[in-house]
A and B are shown apart, each in its own frame.
Chain A
Amino acid sequence: MAAMTLSEKIIARAAGLDTVAPGDIVTCTVDLAMMHDSSGPRRAGKMLDELGIPIWDKDKLVVITDHYTNDPDPGSLEIQAITHKWVKEKKLPHFLAEQGICHVVLPEKGFLKPGLFCVGADSHSTTGGAFGAFMVGVGATEMTGVLATGEIWVRVPETLRLDVSGELAQGVAAKDVILKLCGDIGIMGANYMVVEYAGSAVRAMAVDERMTLTNMAAELGAKTGLIAPNEATADWLIAAGAQGIDIETWQGDADAPVAKTITMDGSALSPQVAAPSNPENAADVAEHAGTPVAQAYIGACTGAKLEDLRMAAEVVRGRKAAAGMRFFVAPATTQIRDEAATDGILKVLEDAGAVILPTGCGGCIGLGDARLGENMTGISSTNRNFVGRAGPASSKLYLGSAYSVAAAAMTGKITDPRELL
Chain B
Amino acid sequence: MSIIPEGRAWVYGDNIDTDQLAPIHSYKNRNAEEGCKFCLQALDPDFAGAVEDGDIFVAGANMGIGSSREQAPLHLKLLGIRCVLAKSFSRIFYRNTLNFGVPALICADVGRINSGDRISVDPLQGRIDNVTTGETLTCDPLPEHLMEMIGNGGLMAHLRKKLKQEA
A residues near B (Cβ < 8 Å) are 38-39, 43, 47, 50-53, 68, 73-76, 121-123, 137-142, 144-145, 148, 187-188, 191-192, 221, 223, 278, 365-367, 384, 386-389, 393
Q: List A contacts of B24 (CB < 8 A).
A: 365-367, 389
Q: List A contacts of B25 (CB < 8 A).
A: 366
Q: List B contacts of A388 (CB < 8 A).
A: 19-20, 23, 41-42
Beta-carbon nearest neighbor of B26 in chain A: A388
Q: Contact check, B92 vs A145: say whether CB atoms are below 8 A apart.
A: no
Q: List A contacts of B17 (CB < 8 A).
A: 386-387
Of the candidates A51, A221, A367, which one forms a contact with B163 in the assembled complex, judged by CB atoms under 8 Å apart? A51
In chain B, residues 80-95, which have Cβ atoms closer than 8 Å to a Cβ of chain A? 88, 90-92, 95
Q: Give, as a whole number of angstroms, the nearest-CB distance from A395 to chain B.
A: 11
Interface residue tally on B, bucketed by range: 20 to 34
The CA of A387 and the CA of B70, in the complex, are separated in Å by: 18
Q: List A contacts of B66 (CB < 8 A).
A: 123, 384, 386
Q: Contact check, A139 vs B70: say whether CB atoms are below 8 A apart.
A: yes
Q: List B contacts of A141 (CB < 8 A).
A: 70, 96, 99-100, 154-156
Q: Contact check, A142 vs B155: say whether CB atoms are below 8 A apart.
A: yes
B residues near A (Cβ < 8 Å) are 15, 17, 19-20, 23-25, 28-29, 41-43, 61-62, 65-70, 88, 90-92, 95-96, 99-100, 154-156, 159-160, 163
The CA of A188 and the CA of B17, in the complex, are separated in Å by: 12
Q: Contact check, A188 vs B88: say whether CB atoms are below 8 A apart.
A: yes
Beta-carbon nearest neighbor of B42 in chain A: A393
Q: List A contacts of B43 (CB < 8 A).
A: 387
Q: Give, as a whole number of angstroms, the nearest-CB distance from A360 to chain B.
A: 13
Q: Contact check, A39 vs B28: say whether CB atoms are below 8 A apart.
A: no
The CA of A123 and the CA of B130, in the complex, are separated in Å by: 35
What are 6 of the A-B contact pairs (CB < 8 Å)?
A: A39-B70, A137-B68, A140-B70, A187-B62, A387-B43, A388-B20
Q: Contact check, B62 vs A51: say whether CB atoms are below 8 A apart.
A: no
Q: Give, as a whole number of angstroms, the nearest-CB distance from A146 to chain B.
A: 11
Q: Contact check, A191 vs B156: say whether CB atoms are below 8 A apart.
A: no
Of the candidates A50, A75, A123, A145, which one forms a contact with B29 in the assembled complex, judged by CB atoms under 8 Å apart? A75
Beta-carbon nearest neighbor of A75 in chain B: B29
Given contacts A141-B100, A142-B99, A366-B25, 9 further A-B contacts (CB under 8 A): A51-B159, A75-B28, A75-B29, A121-B68, A138-B68, A139-B92, A191-B91, A192-B91, A387-B20
Q: Contact check, A386 vs B19: say whether CB atoms are below 8 A apart.
A: yes
The CA of A209 and the CA of B25, in the complex, are separated in Å by: 32
Q: Give, as a whole number of angstroms, the nearest-CB distance from B151 to chain A.
A: 16
